[in-house]
Structures are given as C-alpha cells and as structure tokens.
Amino acid sequence: MKIIGLTGGSGAGKSIVATEFKKLGAGIVDADDVYRKLCDENLDMLFELQKTFGDILTIDKKLNRQKLASIVFSDNDKLKKLNEITVSYIKKASDEKFKILEENGVQIALYDAPTLFETGVNSICDSVIGIIADKDTRIERIIKRDNISKQAAIARINSQPDDSFYYQRCNYIIENNVSHETLTNQVKQLWEKLVK
C-alpha cells in the first residue's frame, strides 16, 4: 500500500481534497480526527498536555481545545511543544488505522496531516501533496468552519508556514482557489499518476 501525505495550512481545503480522493478509492487517515479522538480518550496524553500548558482540561477530563488553541497559536515555541508531545500518540493511533486499510486491500491511503513535515511524519509517506489557497479565502473558511473571530483566524494562519514551504517540500501542489469542478479535475489527474 502506498501512503500519500496530504498537507497544507488551515483553511486551504485539505478535507475537500481528501473527500474527492476518497470517491476515487483512496483510504483516508485524518491526523486531526485521530487527535480529536485522543483528546477525548487518551488520559496519558491529556495529563502530559496539562502538565505543560496548565489548566486546559474540562471538568470531565476532556481537552478544552479552544483554550489550548489560544495558548499555542499565539506562541510558536508553545506550538512546537504541543507537536512534540502529541506526535508519538498520533503516529501510533494512525499506524493502527493504516494497518486496517491495508488488511482491507486499499492500494493508496492518504495521510491528511497539517503538520506532516514539522513532526517528521512525512518519512512514512511515498510522496506528499500540498494544498494551498490564498490568505483571504483561508481566513473566510476558518471563520465559517470554526466559528472564531477574524483576528483568531489570522493568528492561526500567521503561525503556520507560507506557500513557499509547501512548494519546496511537496511532490505535488493543488491550488484550491478554484471552482469545485476544476479542483475535482486536478484530483482526478493526480490520482491517475498515483495509481500507475
């Protein structure tokens, strides 16, 4: 089974691209979904995060994601520390998902991971697709998706790499400022290359 990394900044549209690949037969492992599940279930990770970032758990021992986001997205060192703590937990849980996909005969699995390179997880990928979109589009998408202020959306984008980062590191780039039809065609063309 080939593992193809799928990465890009917040609001670039990785989920839309992943959905299009899934329609063509790709298996998907979404690092954010894996992380969300760990935030609800993995007490070892949660207590490690609490030890580092302070009072970030709810009364019922779940992660208060907004509280943690307000801490890490305004300080790159803290964001780096968050990635250092969570990467091994996410990798282990993701590996289990890849194993299941392979056992089910999936030929190509996408690893949708926003911090693929920063956490070194690109090392398990056969190649990597970078998704980019212009800043205003991303801000609009983040505000709509996460129901946060424009200022918070801009802070999130500013804490992440710019487009040149993805151009330098990815094997393929999909620009997601286009119509859905154009995006679908880009995905289909790339899928044909990947399945060869």
Six-digit token pair at 100? 């299941």
- Asked if residue 39 lies in contact with residue 63, where contact means CB atoms within 8 angstroms, the answer is yes
Q: Is residue 195 part of a domain?
A: no
Which pLDDT score is estimated for 83?
Answer: 87
CATH code, domain with 56? 3.40.50.300
Q: Domain span at residue 136?
A: 2-190
With beta carbons less than 8 A apart as the criterion, state whether 174 and 131 touch: yes
pLDDT tens for each residue of the chain, 196 residues long = 999 999 999 999 999 999 999 999 999 999 989 999 999 889 999 999 999 999 999 888 889 988 998 899 888 899 889 989 999 999 999 999 999 999 999 999 999 998 899 888 999 999 999 999 999 999 999 999 999 999 999 988 998 999 999 999 999 999 998 788 999 999 999 999 999 8
As a residue count, the chain comes to: 196
**DSSP conformation letters of 99-151:** HHHHHTT-SEEEEE-TTTTTTTGGGG-SEEEEEE--HHHHHHHHHHHH---HH
Report the pLDDT value the prediction gives residue 92, as an integer from 0 to 100: 94
Output phi, psi for 64, to 5 deg.
-85, 90
In a domain, 103, yes or no: yes
Tokens of 33: 């979904």
Query: Which pLDDT score, from 0 to 100, does residue 151 have?
Result: 93
The pLDDT value recorded for residue 109 is: 97
- Counted domains in the chain: 1
Is residue 196, in this structure, part of any structural domain at all? no
